[in-house]
Each structure stands twice: as C-alpha cells, then as structure tokens.
Structure 1
Amino acid sequence: MIRVAAAQYAVTNDVAANLANSVRMIHEAGKCSPDLIVLPEFANHNSWYDNQDHCYQVSVDIDGEFSQAIAQAAKQVGAYVVINCTVRRQGNRATGTSLLFTPDGELVAENNKQVLIGHENDFLDIAEQQGPIVDTDIGRLAMYSCMDGVINETPRCLALRGAQILCNSLNSFAIDEGTLHIPVRAAENKVFVVAANKVGPLIPEEMLEPVSQGINIPVEFLSGAGDSQIVAPDGTVLALAGKGEEVIWADIEPSQADDKSRPDGSDIFANRRNELYAILGNDPQTQTLPEFGGAIDVDAAIVASDSIAEVIQQTQQLINNGNKLIALPELFWCESGSQPDMLAQESEQLLLALQQICPADVYIGLSIVAKHGNGYQHQGVIVSQQGVVHRQGQVHASKRHDWSIPADEFKVFHSPYGSLAVIVEDDAIYPETFRLVAMQGVQLVFASLQQQEAWQGVTGIIERASENRVNVLAASTACEDSLICSLQKDFTIMTPWQERQFDGLLSQCQVVRGNQSPICAQVHPQAAANKVVSHRTHLIDNRPWRLMSAMLD
C-alpha cells in the first residue's frame, strides 16, 4: 500500500513566484506523508504568450534553477514528484513536459505532451517519442497531461505498456475533465489515475474581460476548474478536490492495476484485436472522413426492459409517436445459461415481430444470436420494414459469450438519417471500437448493451460519444444503465455559437437519462461532421498516430 497525493493551486505569469508556490505546495502535500505527489500542467507560467520568443523565455531549462528547486523539495519531503512545465528546447522552441523526480531529488523521466490544444499548437512542439514507463519501488509510473487525456490514445498506450499509475497534470477550465475525461481513463484501462488541475485565472487577470468578449467564453470559465482527483481502476473516485487550493490524497495498492478482468473473467487487454486497429496508426493527412449527410434532427429513443412483450409494446408506442431510431438492449430476453441454438431461434421470432411493426422510415438497433458458419455468432443488427438491413458480429471475445464466433471488422450502414453502426456490450468497452466506426463516418451508434460494470454508464459510453463526436443510443435492460448521447450543434470553442452559451464543457455531449422506459431525445446526425474542439485541434486527426505502436503491434 502506498499513499498518493495531488496538489491543486493557482499559477500566474510570474515564473519566480510560481516556483516558490510549487515548492510550497510540495511541502504542503508532504504533510500527509505521501509516496507520490502530482502537480498541475504549465506550473512555471500560464499558457499565455505574446509570441514564440516570449514562450521560450518563460520556459525552464531541464536542469536549471526551477528544476533544481523542485528536485530539492522532492528530496526534502521524501516523495516522488511529478510537475509539468514548458521546457526550453533547441532552436528557440519549447515543449510541454512532465518531469518525474525521485525522493532522492533525481530527475529520472520526462514526457512531452502528445496532443496539443488551441494555441498550444502555435507555440509548443509535440512529442516525438512515447512517454516512459518508470519502474519504481512504489509501482510503475507514467505521465501525461491535460489534452492527452481528452482523447483515449495516450493513456491507453501507457497502460498497455504496463503502467499501474498514470499521473495527469492539467491546465484546464473544462468541467468535463473532472466529471468525464479523468475518471474514464482509469476505468477503461483498469489503472490508477492521479490528476492535478489548477484553480485561479489561466490567463493574465487584466485580460479576463477582453478575452472573454473576444472568444465567447464567460469569465468564470477562464479559470482552472479544479476537481483534481485520484481514481481507482474500477472508476471509483477515491479523493476529489473542490474549486480552491487544496491537497488531496488516498492510499492505493498499485498491483490492483495488473488485473484487467471483467466480471465474467474476460481480460480486456488480452482480448484486444491489434490486427484490426492498424488504420488508427496511419497519417491522418492520408485519410479523409466520408461526406456527412443525413438529417439535422431526428427523434430517437431507447427501450429498457427484459420482456419481449413489453419491448414490442413500447417500440410500437414510440413508432406511433414519431421516433425514427430506436435502440433495444443486448439479448434482453435471454436468461442466464441459455444455449446459443435456442437463442438463435428466439432471435428469428423477435426479428419477425419487429419487422412487422416497423414502418419504412424507422430503424431499430438491437442484439441477437444467429447461425454463423458451423456455429453461432452474437450480432448487433439494424432492423427495418425490409427485415435485417445490417449485421455486425461481436469482434472482441468474452467469456460471457464464449460460443460466439468473432467477426473481423466493424461496418457501417448508410441510412436516410446518416451513417449508423450497432455495437454490442463486449465491443463497446474498447475505445478502439468507436474510433474505427467514427473514422468510417458514423453519425449515430446503436449501443445494444447489458452493462457489466458501473463505469460504463457513468463515463464510458459518454466518452465514446464525446471523443469521437457521434450520437449514441445506449440501451440496457436496467433503465438507470441506459442513456442517450446527443451531440450539440455548437461545438468548437472560441467560435461564434448560435444556439447556446459556453457551459464549461470542452467536448462532452448532451446526456439524456430517464427514470422509466422508454427514454426519448432528439439527436443531431449532421453535428457529427464537426470534430474540431478548438483551434487546430481535431478529435480524431490529432490523435498521436506516430506514437501508437503499443495499441497496434
């Protein structure tokens, strides 16, 4: 058992004052006798520069006074310390770099930011190599920072390479960092995350009002959002900071991060399909997303029930009320221990019943069992008046459905409402799955689920929708596990918005839940075309494609 801590505090544009404050916070955190302390991103100077030379001048030398003072503080408190600064590089350039110091005051690792956001792209260089996995006496540590964790690839690769504790330094005003992007990276990779964000203005105070007016972001959202936290491998938040200066800590057992098992015993890392993910490592400049057509608005719904009669009745009601896209849970009528041959027969009867009530302009996504070759396959299907118009076999193996013959690709279906996909439970837990269909231009996903872990409904499905900018209808038999993820039409920050004001969410979609079935909402297929979250920051194209060998090999 070890103790980990995160220090949350404000940073200004005064490098000397920031150094003194960082040292003070290390000592403040040291009062709880931690083995590891994580500090925020850009701790030397707020991410606000007049020009490239200014950025370089306020950056720190890797072995300079700033670094040496942090090393001394780490030695004085006897803890590993992670801090992120802009670091001077050759040619008047700089990188956003996380630094790891040992309890002896030695700098043992550095990791440059892989995914830049907004004007960081104008002043900083991105990483040219993977971040290190540091095997220490307290566990295997790795580092990433802020935007690296808003999309999945950087934390995913660190976890696949063996990290047990991910140290995330943030410089973020976004409230969805704390509610979504930080905790989901722990749960989807089954690792610990120790995340430290800032509070206080993220730009010079005298600039708050003019900048707010110029970029359409209210002043209150130009400060660090706080919400520093420590998250367990199951997604449980063990410690959570508020909105002011604070130190949080928790006792953890790093070896728990070595267990990658789902409740049914499936190993989520062993069951990955690296051979199918190769396109994720291709240069985005050579890839073009398909044209985004389809509808602007569509009425959609999910049914949460384990009764065939109830599902048919509610589906008919939804159709009568004008809903065009309807999602049903995974094998919702199936009892534990049911054999695939019987499930296949029952599936055929269910599909016929749905086809009979389905008008020409309605599509229903669900999960069935079908004969496949010499065996059976668990499939997601889309049903219309014409019958089954799209089949998607389960790609990733699971012990729950160990009889299912794996499919070898993810496919999309082109409907009048836009491009659709259907994904089943044991594929939906993999961030790679949604990336692959998003890169095929999918605008809405029917997620036919039987939720096995709480994190999936709390953060998992929401993140799959948000980091890929796809609408999702996620149906499980339990209403509390079901949700609709609907994309906002106004999205890119610091651009004119027509329908809403900035609400503190960087990329999180709108989430609709309900206390009873059915759950209805309007979704926006054409909104999936805009994946630019900020200046020069595309949620798919800006993935660190050069550094993803751990996901692909």
Structure 2
Amino acid sequence: MGSERLHFDAGNEITPLVETPFGLTGMYSCMDGVIAETPRSLAVRGARVLLNTLNSFAPDEASLHVPVRAAENKVWVISANKVEYLVNEGPREMVSKALNTPVETLLGAGESMVVDPLGNIVAAAPLRGEAVLVVDIDPTLGDNKKRPDGTDVMAARRPLVYAPMAQAPTGRKAGAGAAALQTAVVQTAADGEAAIAEASAAVTSAIADGAELIVLPELFCFDGGVVDSSLSADAIQERGDAAIAALTAAVGNSNAHVVTSLPRGAAHVGVVIAKSGVVGQQKQIHQIARHAGWVSDLGDAIEAIELSWGRLVVIVGDDAIFPETFRLAALKDADVAAVPFDVQEKWELVHGLKERAAENRINVAAASRANSVGGSCFVPLTSNFGMWRPDRAEPFNGVISAPDTVEPTSKTGVTIVELHPAEAVNRMVTRDTDLVDGRPWELLEPLVTAQQ
C-alpha cells in the first residue's frame, strides 16, 4: 500500500494455512484486510481463526475492515495494531503537511481486537496506550457457516462465476457518471399482494420529490419476502406481472427507474422498471435456503445497465453478503448498486454493505423490510477519499476507506438520499494503490476453484 511499494515486494505465493491445536489458522497483514480477497482465500480453505497484523493510523480498521472479515467469512478474527507514531520524528512534520492532517493523525490507531464469527467485537484495546488482551474463545464456532435461514455461506459460493476476479486487471473503461443522483428506498407498511398499491403510490411520490432511482425490498409483494409454497406457479407469475404493471404505471412519463426482485419462472430476478416496462433483469447468483423450494435457475454473471446518469447493477437479495458479487460489479464499472434484500444479520448493515461500497467504490442503495435487525440503507460515495490529494474537500482525518451509511429514520415510507455516481471512478486509496485493480488477482485460485 502506498509508499510500502517503494521498499517491499508483494507476496507472490498463496498464503498457507497453519495447523494449530485449535484448528487451521490464517494470517494476513494491514492493507490485505482493506479488500476482501486475502482473508476470503484463507477462510474458504477452512481457517477457523484469522490473525490480522496492523501498522495503521486508520480508525476504520477497527470500525469496519477488521470486524467485517469475521462476519462475512464466519470466522474468528484477532487483530493487533500499534499505538505510537508510525512515522519517524525526522520526516513526521513533512508527512503531516503533505497529507494535510494534524501530526497526531500519524499515531497508530490501536484498538486491537477479538471479533467472533458473527462480527461481534468480543474484546478491544483502547485507541491510545499499550494494552494486552487475554480472551478465551471457542474456535469451533468458526465451523458454523449457517445464516439464520439455514444458508451455508461457504457451500453456496459459486467459484466458477467468480473467474473474472482472477483475470489480469484492465482498468476501468467507462467514463464518469453524474455528479449527483437522487435515490429513494421504499419500506411499505403493507405486505404481500396489498403492498403493490402502497409501493406504487410511494414510487409516484418519490418521483414527484425528485427521485430518479427507487429501490423496493426483495420480493416486496410476497408476505415476509418468501414465496408461499401453497401458491401455484400461475398465481406467483400473475402477482409478479401485476407488480410490474403497477410500478410501470407509477413511473408515468418520467425518466425514473424502479428496482425490486420478483419470481420469474424458476429464477429470483432483480428487475429494473422504466416507463416502458422492464428494461433490465438480473438473476440471483447464489442458492439461498429460504428460496430453495422454488429457485433452481441461477444467474452466472453480474450485468451492468447503462443509464443516463451512469452504470447500474442490481444485487439480488443475499447475493449482497458474498464479497465476490460486488467485486464482479466493480469489474463491470458499476457506479451504483441497487440492492433489494431482506436483512437477516446486523453485520449486513453495520459493516457489510458499507464495506462492499468502500472496497469496490460503488454507491449502494439497499431496500429491506424493517425488522428487529434493521432495514434499508444507503452508502453514498463522496469526494473526501484518497490520501495525498491536494484537492480533498476536507483535511485528511486518518480514515482510508469508509464512506458513511445513511439509514431511514422511519420503518415505513420513502427516504431519499443523494448518491454520487461520478465518485466511482476514483479507486485510488493512496499512491499506486487501486482498490479494485490492486487485488492479488494472480493468487486467487482458492476463490475461483471449488474447495473440498
């Protein structure tokens, strides 16, 4: 990362796992945890515990990048960071001025921590001052890869679909999108078939208030976001058709687009609806337990849709919990990801979608029914990104890659937030360090081949 490239060569071999009395253990360092690939390659090969060594002044290591690697892989992560100055006294003032930051920002950010496989921080050291943590953990908890609905997050992976991740980077080809995009999420009070009328009215209202992209929850017109097994195939299709017709009418003569997901035959499909009807479709890529009774037709790629304001991808339902899905979207030069989903675990909102936006530089608008875990959220990219930039909107505060998350204040209704498609073109977190093209693509065989 950054100036480290002047002094060190990157690893050129797949990191081995270490056999220990408490199971397979993997190790990764600093920048390797700011993107998903290296921790993921350790976890898919069976690691129960990941050890993350840090040399960082970035507070977003502890607030985002460390805990998300535990939750997305359902493993233990144990991190250790420094607390004193990371830059020697001689050049310290020069570096401080060059970064446009107070010299105290160059202190190690501490907060070494132990995170359980659900993403809960079990213990954490303070931001400042030396500390030793002694924590009893049960490593076998890292063997349970099940979600609340029974989906095994490792068994459901699609390695062959992820093949583009292991291909040589070609750089972003698409130009910049619009500077601003008014984007809405809709959470309805009604559920099931009754939600169609409410959602349609909400779409019309959102468009009147300036929204150009409106996202509805996963399977918004089916009770609880689940297709009832008692419904006939014809009844399921008819309800989906009715939803499309109503949402098309709600768009009216505007240039807005509505995104949700619906059953289309044996596929769970994200649909993009405009005034002319459906203009884009994206099949769900991963087999999800709660939909296994009716979904057998899976997608094999992420496709981007070119719209007037930029490039849109649809991430369908639980495809959002797989870091590979968003990486594929980044390789399609996506500016915005619309995510109709049904949140099951708190980490998805606290860490998951935020990291997907951060490590891929994609704006996110995610719509979910509100439940005890949470609901919808937005992750807008901003121009306040990238170290060593003289044109930063604000002085550098030590945060390297962590856009803010915006959540609706109400469980129902329309929430509109401004996204920034143009910011997706900037992937340079620091000098010579591109978050997408800088992935260790030559070492990703564990991610793109089936593991035993």
What range is the shorter-chain TM-score in? over 0.9
Query: How far apart in 1 are the matches of 2:339 and 2:397?
Result: 27
Query: Which residue of 406, 412, 416 corresponds with 1:512?
Result: 406
Alignment pair present for 1:499 and 2:364: no
**Counterpart for residue 236 of structure 1:** 120
Matches within 5 A, 1:14-413: 117-244=1-128, 245-284=130-169, 287-305=170-188, 307=190, 308=195, 309-335=197-223, 336=226, 338-339=228-229, 341=233, 342-358=235-251, 359-371=253-265, 376-402=266-292, 403-404=294-295, 405-413=297-305
More strand per residue: 1
Q: Contact 1:328–1:365 (CA<8 Å) still a contact in 2?
A: yes
Instruction: Please tell me the residue identity of whatever aligns with 1:533.
Output: V
Q: Contact 1:446–1:472 (CA<8 Å) still a contact in 2?
A: yes
Q: Contact 1:294–1:415 (CA<8 Å) still a contact in 2?
A: no
CA deviation string 1:242-279 (max 9, x = no partner)? 11211223221111111211122221111111111111
Shift of 1:378: 0.8
SS in structure 2 at match of 1:291 = coil
Shift of 1:224: 1.0
Q: Percent identity?
A: 40
SS in structure 2 at match of 1:312 = helix
Query: How far apart in 1 are the matches of 2:189 and 2:278?
Result: 21
Q: Contact 2:302–2:328 (CA<8 Å) still a contact in 1?
A: yes
**Counterpart for residue 314 of structure 2:** 422
Shift of 1:500: 2.3
Q: Contact 2:220–2:260 (CA<8 Å) still a contact in 1?
A: no
SS in structure 2 at match of 1:303 = strand
- Computing the radius of gyration over CA atoms, which structure comes out larger, 1 or 2? 1
Q: Structure 2: which 5+ residue stretches go unaligned?
A: none
Q: Contact 1:365–1:380 (CA<8 Å) still a contact in 2?
A: yes
SS in structure 1 at match of 2:315 = strand
Instruction: Please tell me the residue identity of whatever aligns with 2:109.
Output: A
Q: Contact 1:483–1:519 (CA<8 Å) still a contact in 2?
A: no
Query: How far apart in 1 are the matches of 2:182 and 2:102?
Result: 31
Q: Contact 1:305–1:476 (CA<8 Å) still a contact in 2?
A: no
**Counterpart for residue 360 of structure 2:** 468
Query: How far apart in 1 are the matches of 2:181 and 2:149?
Result: 36
**Counterpart for residue 419 of structure 2:** 523
SS in structure 2 at match of 1:462 = helix
**Counterpart for residue 445 of structure 2:** 549
Q: Contact 1:334–1:343 (CA<8 Å) still a contact in 2?
A: no
Q: Structure 1: which 5+ residue stretches go unaligned?
A: 1-116
TM-score (norm 2): 0.92
Instruction: Please tell me the residue identity of whatever aligns with 1:254.
Output: P
Q: CA RMSD in A?
A: 1.5
Q: Contact 1:473–1:484 (CA<8 Å) still a contact in 2?
A: yes
Query: How far apart in 1 are the matches of 2:38 and 2:162?
Result: 15
Which region of structure 1 is more displaced relative to structure 2, 384-393 or 345-354?
Answer: 345-354
Query: How far apart in 1 are the matches of 2:227 and 2:7?
Result: 58
SS in structure 2 at match of 1:353 = helix
Query: How far apart in 2 are the matches of 1:415 and 1:475?
Result: 20
Aligned residue pairs, count: 431
